[in-house]
Structure 1
Amino acid sequence: MPRTIRSHGRYRYSAIVDRPDFDWPQGRRLAVYIGLNLEHFDFGEGHGSALAAGRREPDVLNYAWRDYGNRVGAWRMLDLFESLELPVGLIVNSTIADYCPELVAAYQERLDTELIAHGRTNSESQNAFDEPGEVALIAESRDRLSEAFGETPNGWLGPSIAQNETTPDLLAEAGFGYHLDWCHDDQPTWMATRDGGRILSVPYPQEINDIPSIAAHHIDYREFAARIVDQFDEMYEQSRDQPLVMGIALHPYIVGQPFRLRALRRALSHVAAPRDDVWLTTPGAIARHFMSLAPV
């Protein structure tokens, strides 16, 4: 008997070359967004990317390194995004609302932004909770961000990008229209949820993402900037055949460091240059446009 592989049951296989064609707004073929992660951590809990691994708690070194992103790096990146007139998807831990709400407020005031829920803190992994605990986590993150920043998030990225088997169901039931947790495609994908519902998966990168690339794989920061450029150029060409989504996932404590920021500026200037031919946007705008074209 052939072995049967267990399936998640959320979507069927679909080759990108076999799908119906469509355009992004104004006939554009490549949608590009920046996902900026604004994260806050428990002191002494030992979670998050590590500048130096294996240290005992309280780990002042790694905690302070991550806090640099909120205190300095994100503000420098705000100037960069504003100079290039780039929209930004703000992927925000809800505890940011208590720690440094002025950071999110400044982005909302100066840029075209979208608020995306990112749990309470990245000191938690979403799949460490049972279902009632996860329901509470999702609701608390959504409601606190809405209360603090006047915008109810429609999109979700889980802390640690960790889902339980029922997470898409819980997100849909909490009113979220899309999530960013899966990196399986270059186009949005409808995912089935229980009781006949659905939620949209918008592509979120794990290769064009500074944590896996720089913190985990230890590539040179100039190589990361070159990857952004090459990803953009290749997807720009590929999008002649299929409309595509390119995400750029950034964390201010990593690429907000001055030497990395300079290389990032060069890469994003390259991406922004043909703005009349590509759609520089946010994940939520991508989701809304796709839903308007493919509502089922």
Structure 2
Amino acid sequence: MSDPTPPALRHHGRFAYRAITDRPDYDWPDGRRLAVYLGLNLEHFAWGEGLGAELAPGGPQPDVLNYAWRDYGNRVGAWRMLELFDALDLPASILANSAMYAHAPELMAAFRARGDEIVGHGRTNAERQSVLDRAAEAALIAESTAVLRAAEGVAPQGWLSPWIAESEHTPDLLAEAGYGYTLNWCMDDQPIWMETTGGRLLSIPYPQEANDIPSIVARKDGAGYFADMIIDNFDEMRAQSRGQPLVMGIALHPYLVGQPYRLRHLRRALTHIAAHRDEIWLCRAGEIHSYCRNVISDRVV
């Protein structure tokens, strides 16, 4: 009789399958069960070349319409969002292209003054690192990390690839470069350990649903719908977290939700979350990493 077991598919080898209902239990600090962080993407794009989200189908380069629309986020939208975060006393993880330090140093300084965490986000979102060979990708990570370290006085703990683009080597290169966590993988609602040639790398959940790029740019969701999505996701995860400790990230881009009519709805969603601050852990992604590595390392799977 032939073996009915189907052959295994090719696997990434970074982590094994384990159901969220079959894992060690733990709490976040102060007995909280739901950790919530804001991931604000500060991005700069090359003029006349490269990748970029589009408000309208792009024409020949230089694509003035889409380039200027994206730069609105750095010139206006991000400043309005900073005011909103201050008004609601919300911490943030700033996912920063290293090119931002030359393009808009005042903006980076303003978030530094808030005490926000700076997360590595490549050189520019006009490029993907996944198309590079191993040496060139390592050089990109090293170059962008050096800019952040020089500006902030400390190396970033975490990394989000532009366009969530990874090669086969990216987790290894990140760990070898001293990174402790990645936001690239969206397969879970808990942090999990990934195996790399440089030791364990923590994968912290970064959303592709509660994220304004796929919602607003790809699915064409309205401003109110996106805010309702954040509220519904938060309320449901708050209820689910009674069974398992969870992480909810909210991914934001200032050229999208920094637009006045969207900002008004985002304020409504974030005000709802802030009203529950006494029962959740409002934090930065780096704080999740530090807690998982230093306090509950043996209970993270």
Does the TM-score normalized on the shorter chain lie above 0.5?
yes
2:72 maps to which residue? 68
Decide whether the 8 Å contact of 1:46 with 1:59 is kept in 2: no
Give the conservation status (yes or no) of the 8 Å contact 2:180–2:201.
Answer: yes
Instruction: Give the superposition deviation at 1:275.
Output: 0.5
Alpha-carbon shift at residue 46 of structure 1 (Å): 4.1
Which of 79, 83, 92 is 1:79 aligned to? 83
CA distance in 1, matches of 2:231, 2:288: 21
Superposed CA offset, 1:44-84 (max 9, x none): 11411100124211100000000000000000000000000
Q: Please name the residue that 1:155 is paired with.
A: 158
The Cα shift of 1:290 comes to 1.2
CA distance in 1, matches of 2:111, 2:197: 36
Contact 2:182/2:203, CA 8 A, preserved across alignment: yes
Please name the residue that 1:247 is paired with. Answer: 249
Contact 2:175 2:197 (8 Å CA) reproduced: no
Q: What's the TM-score, normalizing by structure 1? A: 0.97
SS in 2 for 1:126: coil
Instruction: Give the one of 69, 90, 93 matched to 1:89.
Output: 93
- Which amino acid in the other structure matches residue 253 of structure 1? Y
Specify the alignment match of 2:120 in structure 1: 117
Size of the aligned set, in residue pairs, is: 294
> Quick one: which of 205, 212, 215 aligns to 2:214?
212
1:232 matched to 2:234: yes
Is contact 1:46–1:57 with CA below 8 Å preserved after alignment?
A: no
What percent of counterpart residues are identical?
61
How far residue 149 of structure 1 moved from its aligned partner, in angstroms, is 2.5
Q: Which residue of 2 aligns with 1:258?
A: 260
Structure 1 distance, partners of 2:144, 2:275, is: 36
Q: 2 CA distance for matches of 1:80 and 1:212? A: 23
Counterpart residue number, 2:8: 4
Question: RMSD of the alignment, in Å?
Answer: 1.1
Q: Find the partner of 2:277 among 267, 275, 278.
A: 275
Quote the residue 1:131 is aligned against: 134
- 2:45 aligned with 1:41, yes or no? yes
The residue aligned with 1:142 is 145
Deviation digits for residues 164-223 of structure 1 (CA, Å, limit 9, x no counterpart): 01100000000000010000000001000126x210100000000000000111111110
Where does structure 1 lack aligned partners over 5 or more consecutive residues? none
Q: Do the aligned partners of 1:105 and 1:149 also contact (CA within 8 Å) in 2? A: no
Does structure 1 residue 22 correspond to structure 2 residue 45? no
C-alpha distance in 2 between matches for 1:85 and 1:236: 20
For structure 2, the 5+ residue unaligned runs are none
Opposite residue 143 of structure 2, the aligned amino acid is: E
Q: Is the 8 Å Cα contact of residues 126 and 161 (structure 1) preserved in structure 2?
A: no
Please identify runs of 4+ aligned residues in structure 1 that moved more than 6 A: none
Partners of 2:127 and 2:220 in 1: CA distance: 24
The question of 1:293 aligning with 2:283 is answered no
